[in-house]
Amino acid sequence: MEIPLEEALPIAFVLIFAIVSLIYAVGRLLSPKPAKNENQDTSYACGEKATFHNLKLNISLYKYLVYFIILDSSVLLVAFASFALQVLSLPLFLTYMVILLAAILLLFDGGKD
C-alpha cells in the first residue's frame, strides 16, 4: 500500500520536527553547564570595562525587517511549492500576487508609525 504524496509530506514534516526537537532536548539536558562568575556577566571593550547604560538604539527600520522576513519567507514557500509540484497553478499564482500586493502596500506606507 502506497501513501499519496499529499498525505506523506505532513507526516514527514511532523516526524522530522519531532526527531529534531528530541535531539535538541536531549542535547540541552546532557550538555555541561558552565559555572557563572562575575566577569562573564560584565561588558568588556578594548581592555576596559564598558558601561552601556545610556546606549540608545534606533529601531525605526525594525518594522521593515519584520515585513521583509514575513513576505520573503512566504514568497519562498510559494516558489518552492510551485517547483515541487512542477506546475504553475492558478492558486499558487494568486497567492504569489496577494503576497506581492501586500508587500507593495506595506512599502507605500512609508516611514509612518
Neighbours of 2 (CB within 10 A): 5
Q: Is the pTM of this model over 0.85?
A: no
Contacts for 75-78 with beta carbons within 8 Å, 24 or more apart?
75/99, 75/100
Three-class SS of residue 4? coil
58/62 Cα distance (integer angstroms) = 9
21: cell is 526537537
Over the stretch 68-105, which tens digit does the pLDDT of each residue have? Answer: 777 777 777 777 777 777 666 677 677 777 877 777 77
* Domain boundaries along the sequence of the chain: 64-113
Over the stretch 18-61, which tens digit does the pLDDT of each residue have? Answer: 999 999 999 999 988 877 776 666 666 666 666 666 667 667 77
28/22 Cα distance (integer angstroms) = 10
